[in-house]
């Protein structure tokens, strides 16, 4: 049996070059085999930098026998098309989030992967940082008492006007880009029965996309999730779990640098505790987890359910939204 997964990278996006490909080099169970770009010269430059082959375009990458799996960091609107093509070529797929723009597109992709016996993974990399596992343990230990409310905020300042996040044709918009993080975190902590109560999306009519939003979700028992996100904010990346005895807050929740110790704060009765936890590398962790799932033939069903549940919640936030103009 192979001890490594031979990865091909389909696209030379910034996140691939700065974050994911260096993490793959550090991973113990991944071998970078090839990279492809629409620009052959760029593919050659990146291949030299990472010591792998330059494929002959995206189709050429999918035809390579020395590629077991592909990583897709393309714009959101292209994820589904190339994930489907990769699965059809017999390759496992790690796609940047969100995997698709809607639930109806996610379902057949998940079924395609399941039928082919391949792994299709949506790269919500923050879930693979150890701080969230420790938060779950603290809640289970009763440190905040009974959980009442989950809140999450993920906002970034306005981008350059040419940024693909502003392109509706490429799957732009705040809900799909930054909104997916607090939604996915809410599901992680509150479970699969979470549903949307209501939402607001702030629209930019000139661009035809949402630039900010808010959503209220609830479990059947009434535990609520209050979520905010957007492209027109000072930077914030935080969530809190508020119980009947204490509140636990995580800063830099979604984008912690690999050398930064997590900042977890527990507030109760006028006292504040900040337990110390080690730094962690979520980019390396997610790539190793993807490869390990393939090599160990892990059960795909839980991840398939998470993909479709996330897409369904995003759809419901969109469908129930009160639209206001920027």
Active site members: 97
316: left (phi over 0), alpha (psi -120 to 50) or beta: alpha
CA–CA distance, 217 with 226 (Å, rounded to integer): 7
Contact 66, 33 (CB under 8 A): yes
- Rounded (5°) CA angle 71-72-76: 155
Q: Strands 236-243 and 247-251: what pairing?
A: antiparallel
Could you tell me whether strands 147-155 and 224-230 are parallel, antiparallel, or unpaired per DSSP bridges?
parallel
Phi/psi for 270 (5° steps) reads 80, 0
Angle formed at CA 113 by CA 108 and CA 117, multiple of 5 degrees: 145
Identify the CA nearest to 277 among candidates 136, 147, 148, 149.
136
C-alpha–C-alpha distance, residues 46 and 35, integer Å: 7
Residues contacting 88, CB < 8 A, separation 6+? 112
C-alpha distances out from residue 100 to 11, 59, 80, Å: 17, 20, 6
């Amino acid at each position: 049996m192979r001890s490594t997964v031979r990865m091909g990278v389909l696209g030379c996006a910034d996140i691939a070059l700065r974050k994911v490909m260096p993490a793959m080099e550090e991973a113990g169970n991944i071998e970078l085999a090839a990279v492809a770009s629409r620009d052959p010269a760029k593919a050659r430059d990146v291949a030299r930098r990472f010591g792998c082959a330059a494929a002959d375009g995206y189709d050429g990458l999918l035809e390579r026998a020395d590629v077991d799996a592909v990583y897709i960091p393309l714009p959101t609107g292209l994820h589904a098309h190339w994930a489907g093509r990769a699965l059809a070529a017999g390759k496992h797929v790690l796609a940047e989030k969100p995997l698709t723009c809607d639930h109806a597109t996610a379902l057949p992709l998940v079924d395609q992967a399941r039928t082919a016996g391949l792994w299709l993974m949506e790269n919500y990399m923050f879930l693979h940082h150890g701080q969230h596992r420790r938060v779950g343990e603290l809640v289970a230990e009763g440190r905040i008492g009974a959980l009442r409310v989950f809140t999450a905020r993920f906002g970034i300042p306005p981008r350059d006007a040419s940024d693909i996040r502003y392109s509706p044709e490429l799957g732009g918009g705040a809900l799909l880009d930054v909104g997916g993080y607090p939604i996915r975190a809410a599901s992680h902590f509150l479970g699969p029965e979470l549903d949307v109560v209501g939402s607001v999306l702030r629209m930019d009519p000139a661009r035809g996309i949402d630039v900010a939003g808010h959503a209220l979700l609830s479990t059947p028992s009434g535990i609520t999730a209050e979520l905010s996100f957007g492209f027109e904010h000072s930077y914030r990346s935080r969530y809190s779990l508020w119980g009947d005895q204490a509140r636990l807050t995580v800063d830099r929740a979604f984008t912690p640098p690999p050398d930064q110790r997590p900042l977890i704060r527990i507030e109760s009765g006028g006292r504040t505790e900040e337990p110390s936890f080690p730094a962690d590398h979520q980019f390396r962790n997610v790539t190793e987890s993807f490869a390990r799932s393939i090599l160990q033939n892990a059960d795909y069903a839980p991840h398939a359910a998470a993909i479709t549940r996330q897409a369904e919640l995003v759809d419901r936030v969109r469908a129930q939204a009160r639209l206001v103009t920027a």
